[in-house]
Amino acid sequence: MLGWLFSKIGNFRNLLYERGVFKSTPLGVPAFSIGNISVGGTGKTPMVAYVAALLAERGETVCILTRGYGRDNPRKRVLVSDGKAVIVGPREAGDEPYELAQKLLGKAAVVADGDRVSAGIWAREKFGVTAFVLDDAFQHRRVERDLDIVLIDATNPFGNGKSLRPGLLREPPENLARAGAIVITRANLAENIEELKTRISILAPGIPVFTCWNRTSRMIEFCGPGVEARGARVGEIEEVLPKKALAFGALGNPESFFEQLRREGYDIAATRAFRDHHNYIQNDIDMLEKAASDAGAEIFLSTQKDAVKFMGLYFKKPCFAMESELVFDNEEGFREMIYGFLSGGPFLSPQ
């Protein structure tokens, strides 16, 4: 009953926007939204970083607008990064905005604010922004966007098919027709990609569809025996370590991270999943140390999103943050689509 009501309210709200009763506010420069129709990890943060980097490479002054889920004061506007320096820590910024700020130094400013209209206008005036990337904004229709990129996780495309709650869908699958482009993420972890593409083409006819997946680009030793994590990169490891590992993470879809590691050849002796956006305490690390010893694991493998919250925590075994990159089936087509909107698009890349 609650899921049905949630779906009806969402559809009515969308109808009010489509009929012009509710108005979307333009930010005055191209705006690219990254979102989804389901809760849980679909890979939004890597895609936000990827699109922001593409825009920066083109010479745009880029700003990421994000709500900053899980930060200490969600009502406060926080300048996470001005593009030149990271200004606040992960608790004030939120783990994902802080991760984006670190990854995109020299490429994009990051602002966390629930009111992305006001934040966008402020950031444009302050930094001379020429392109915005909106994080998790498919349902945030107050901001007018030039391109809505919607992500579908290949390992769990439409959740259990039910709306919140108890389901996982924010919107019915039919609302994919509102998207400007659809990206199937984690395509290498599923076997039915062509069937999924067919279903999407029925739900959203004429909308370009891309596929991508994550690939580990490097391992960053975050801390080791007797070392307190202070946010610094102690060392970089370019090769796969031939050691048994315990993999852990506080992610929307941790199993996809674990499976990615297995497929890349890492020897995963055990895994532990925490609730998404979990803030680690020393007791968590002590529990992980015991689990690793019980499983015969010599090292820990986690993610950059997790590593930003390890500061001040003590690890006995080496802990590595896995830095991933996105790989597209049609990277050139995706790039051309993005750049097409900078020059007054839309540009529809072939599927």
Per-residue pLDDT of 159-211, as tens digits, reads: 766 666 667 788 899 999 999 999 999 999 998 899 999 999 999 999 999 99
Angle ∠(307,310,311) on CA atoms, nearest 5: 120
User: What are the tokens at 177?
Assistant: 């027709």
What pLDDT is stored for residue 7 in this prediction? 63
What is the band of 32 on the pLDDT scale with cuts at 50, 70, 90? very high
Residue 6 confidence (pLDDT) above 70: no
**326: helix, strand or coil:** strand
Amino acid identity, residue 6? Answer: F
- Which residue is listed with tokens 């802990």? 319
What is the band of 218 on the pLDDT scale with cuts at 50, 70, 90? confident
What would the pLDDT profile of 61-79 be if each residue is shown by its tens digit?
A: 999 999 988 888 988 999 9
**151: helix, strand or coil:** strand
**247: helix, strand or coil:** strand
What pLDDT is stored for residue 272 in this prediction? 98
What would the pLDDT profile of 324-351 be if each residue is shown by its tens digit?
A: 899 999 999 999 999 999 876 554 443 4
Amino acid identity, residue 240? Answer: V
DSSP conformational letter for 254: H
Classify the phi-psi angles of 90: left when phi > 0, otherwise alpha if psi is within -120 to 50, otherwise beta.
alpha
- State the Cα–Cα distance between residues 113 and 77, nearest whole angstrom: 5
Residues whose CB is less than 8 angstroms from the CB of residue 117 and which lie 6 or more positions away in sequence, other chains included:
25, 27, 142, 143
What would the pLDDT profile of 273-304 be if each residue is shown by its tens digit?
A: 999 989 999 999 999 999 999 999 999 999 98
Could you give all domains of the chain from N- to C-terminal order, each with its CATH number?
Answer: 11-213+327-342 (3.40.50.300), 216-324 (3.40.50)
What is the percentage of the chain residues whose pLDDT exceeds 90?
67
For residues 232-245, average pLDDT: 66
**136: helix, strand or coil:** coil
- State the Cα–Cα distance between residues 238 and 53, nearest whole angstrom: 23
- What are the residue ranges of helices labelled H in 128-225? 193-203
Q: Are strands 181-185 and 209-223 parallel, antiparallel or unpaired?
A: parallel
What would the pLDDT profile of 81-97 be if each residue is shown by its tens digit?
A: 999 999 999 989 999 99
DSSP conformational letter for 33: E
Q: Is the peptide bond before 346 cis (omega within 30 degrees of 0)?
A: yes
Q: Are strands 235-237 and 209-223 parallel, antiparallel or unpaired?
A: antiparallel
Q: Give the number of C-alpha atoms closer than 13 A to the C-alpha of residue 277, restricted to the C-beta side.
A: 16
DSSP conformational letter for 163: B
In the chain, what's the furthest Cα-to-Cα distance? 61
What pLDDT is stored for residue 238 in this prediction? 57
Calculate the average pLDDT of the chain: 88
**217: helix, strand or coil:** strand
What pLDDT is stored for residue 41 in this prediction? 76
The number of residues in the chain equals 351
Rg (CA), the chain: 20
Bridge-partner residues for 216, per DSSP? 324
What pLDDT is stored for residue 231 in this prediction? 45
